[in-house]
Structure 1
Amino acid sequence: MELLRLGPIGQEHPFVRDDEGVVRDLSPLTADIDGRFLAADGIARTRTALAAGLLPVAEVGGMRIGAPVARPAAVICIGQNYAAHAAESGSEPPEHPVVFFKHPNTVVGPNDVVLLPPGAEKVDWEVELAVVIGRTARYLDSPDAAREVIAGYTVSNDVSERAFQLEVSGGQWSKGKCSETFNPLGPVLVPADEIDPRDLRLRSFVNGEPRQDSSTADMIFPVLQIVHELSRYMVLEPGDVINTGTPQGVALSGRFPYLADGDVMTIEIDGLGRQEQRAERVRLG
């Protein structure tokens, strides 16, 4: 089962793709796929409705794909969570999870245009496994307890402007992470009990040329540990998104050029789908 949101920007509607690959209208259950829906056992209710035949088949050909979760209140990110990526960034593997934030309005659909801001010359791609929280989590007593608060998983591109992030940051990363469109998300949200996040292949391409190719098995801090540790320092709310880090193969390594106007990024994770964005320079005036 896959949850998805389709329609023009700001007018997305909820749908579900059943196990036969048929897309069905989810609006009999909810107006949107958001934190409120997830917290109210939305995934379980969707399965019940599918089994009862209560969700009509939808005609969705040609519709834009939106981010699979609406209006996340927080986008929490884990930095340098793959040892090889830490090394290509010139850093030692961290002893504790490195945490930073993206503005929630960075989240766009998986195939929407990524805008290169004025003055940005070092825009980078980052394929990441994203966790979507389904229940409020505070002070979880173990990593295993994190299983109960995860709604599902999706694909994220943690787009970054490295000069903004590292050269004019003042010691933190948010300037390079928060430009509009800097977090394509989707195409679908797959329920947590249908995905094993411990060994998923992640890949990225630019203009069809390979960039990243790794596995979540190489994470320094695995998903359940990340959620457990985050709950010690902040309250995680339903609908929050956690980007769990990217493997080696980004432009920051010096092995590849940064993105230019017109470049196309392709980002994919096995079992969760593929997204594709074209980079376009913002032109003022």
Structure 2
Amino acid sequence: VKFDEVNEDYFKAAKKAQFISGIMMPVMQFVGNLGYVGVCVAGGIFVTNGTLQVGDIQSFTQYVQLFTQPISSVANIANIIQSTIASAERVFEMMDEEEEKDEIPANVNQVAGEEHSIVFDHVKFGYTPDKPLMTDLNIHVEEGQMVAIVGPTGAGKTTIINLLMRFYDVDGGQIRMKGIDTRDMTKDAVREKFGMVLQDTWLFNGTIADNIAYGREGATKDEVIGAAKAAYADDFIRRLPNGYDTVLNEEGSNISQGQKQLLTIARAILSDPSILILDEATS
């Protein structure tokens, strides 16, 4: 019901905006023509009375056109100006956000028995205070363990990843990595432990080897090939005309979606992270 109300309000506003922007130019042209007619009528009277010459009337008609043309141009782009102002408000709102402060690692004691694990300890979190998404989440993952998080859309799968990587901090409880509360670690220190493969692939214009090597600075060709083999991408790469030197275009459309996914997995493997996250990467 709420969606229908918002959608109806948006429809009415968009309809009104399109009507006004569409009628603006014809109205300005009509007003400009009225001025042209007014000059001609008044000028004809003055010429008849001998007050003005015909050349003066011609000059005035040109003056009217010079005056109305920029006004008509501004009116024609009025909708674009309004969109620009609305966009600028969002840009400046982001620019006015407070900068993140430099973090200093805290001196903390490691929790005994958690040297090789990730622990969600009675975690509470919500994107807004009045709508908690999770209230008592407990997860214990040991080193070398593979964990699958399954649930419908909106269940909080991606939220768990965001909390783990400190894109958000918990409202209650703790998230501990190797016995240390992640809030006592810098965000860089937390995130450097992760390799992540998203559902949407990202490849740049360059060779396949360069795209895989992006996972770690200074990676050798043998390490790139090793990562590709681990991701089961080596076979299809070698079947390409130029192998690892095959150049991908901007959209990566010269290889299939599945092949692009394998390349991003190989890139994550090459980075050799402590924790590897696959966010629906094989869907």
TM-score, normalising length: structure 1? 0.22
Higher relative contact order (CA 8 A, sep 6+): 1
Higher helix share: 2
Higher strand share: 1
Which of these two proteins has the greater Rg computed from alpha carbons? Answer: 2
TM-score, normalising length: structure 2? 0.22
